[in-house]
């Protein structure tokens, strides 16, 4: 490319001085723009430092490039070829950085709208099924969380917005349940339900403001099948459920009743089994 096409045949030195002034003013404005964007980003809640720095640099470079373009125009330079180069370069950059830009924009939405926050327990759809874990970091590219089996997952921000997210921590509490199949003996259904709910309420970690609830799913003269529901901290589902299973089984055993207590739906069994 012949760069002489950008330079006019005759240069008015007053225009050169004016162009230099414009560039200097543009440089000063770029510094002010960078500081202003940083100040706004720091005032906005949820915007990380990396995102704030990126936005401030982008604003600064945009202002200085505009100043240079205005300066060249004041000198009488033919800026059309340069403008064409800039447009082509911008298109190439957009195509190359499209995924990064999508993740950055999604990251801004996530960190301002707060569908998830650090410390939340979430579930997302992944290639190998549902992944559940605790969020440890939000950045401009991804949401980072640690699964219950110790794996660290970096979920792209764009995926977090385009796919459903289950946030188990938004409500402040989470409900779990265990399935109970027990002999009735000489007990009524109401008496057995009281035994189940009292046993669950005695477990450390079960919320007392939302009382445990027993729901009968099958009743016969010999057996009772029920679902026992209880509330707990969003991050304590596994240990609290384990303690509830043990407590309910112990309470029924103390009452001389054979029972099966499980945290998942029990398999179908013959009619003469518990």
**Whose CA is closest to 114, among 154, 49, 165, 43?**
165
In this predicted model, what pLDDT tens digit does every residue of 22-49 receive, in sequence order? 889 989 998 998 998 888 777 765 566 7
Neighbour tally for 267: CB within 10 Å: 7
Q: What is the pLDDT of residue 271?
A: 47
Average pLDDT (72-79) is: 73
Alpha-helical regions (H) of 75-205: 80-96, 98-113, 157-162, 189-201
pLDDT band (50, 70, 90) for residue 79: low
Q: Of 91-105, 186-200, 227-241, where does the model show the most confidence?
A: 186-200
pTM, full prediction: 0.58
Q: What is the pLDDT of residue 171?
A: 80
Q: Which helix (H) or strand (E) holds 39?
A: helix 13-43
Q: What is the pLDDT of residue 264?
A: 72
Tally: H helices and E strands in the chain: 7, 9
Residue-range domains of the chain with CATH: 3-96 (1.10.287.1260), 116-167 (2.30.30.60), 174-262 (3.30.70.100)
pLDDT of 187 > 50? The answer is yes
Does residue 100 or residue 61 have the better pLDDT?
A: 61
In this predicted model, what pLDDT tens digit does every residue of 132-161 receive, in sequence order? 889 998 887 889 999 878 889 999 888 888
In this predicted model, what pLDDT tens digit does every residue of 113-134 receive, in sequence order? 888 888 888 988 887 788 888 9
């Amino acid at each position: 490319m012949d760069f002489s096409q950008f330079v006019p045949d005759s240069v008015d030195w007053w225009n050169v001085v004016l162009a230099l002034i414009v560039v200097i003013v543009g440089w000063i404005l770029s510094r002010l723009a960078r500081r202003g964007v940083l100040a706004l980003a720091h005032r906005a809640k949820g915007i990380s430092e990396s995102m704030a720095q990126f936005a401030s640099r982008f604003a600064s470079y945009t202002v200085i490039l505009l100043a240079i373009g205005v300066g060249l125009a004041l000198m009488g330079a033919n800026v059309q070829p340069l403008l064409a180069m800039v447009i082509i370069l911008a298109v190439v950059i957009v195509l190359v950085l499209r995924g990064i830009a999508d993740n950055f924009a999604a990251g801004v939405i996530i960190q301002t709208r707060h569908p998830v926050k650090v410390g939340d327990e979430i579930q997302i759809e992944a290639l190998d099924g549902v992944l559940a874990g605790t969020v440890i970091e939000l950045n401009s590219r991804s949401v980072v969380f640690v699964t219950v089996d110790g794996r660290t997952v970096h979920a792209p921000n764009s995926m977090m917005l385009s796919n459903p997210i289950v946030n188990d921590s938004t409500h402040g509490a989470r409900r779990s349940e265990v399935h109970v199949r027990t002999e009735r003996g000489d007990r009524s259904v109401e008496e057995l339900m009281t035994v189940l709910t009292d046993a669950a309420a005695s477990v450390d970690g079960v919320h007392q403001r939302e009382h445990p609830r027993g729901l009968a799913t099958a009743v016969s003269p010999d057996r009772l099948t029920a679902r026992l529901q209880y509330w707990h901290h969003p991050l304590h589902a596994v240990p609290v459920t384990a303690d509830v299973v043990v407590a309910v089984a112990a309470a029924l055993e103390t009452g001389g009743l054979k029972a099966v207590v499980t945290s998942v739906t029990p398999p179908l069994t013959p009619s003469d089994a518990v």
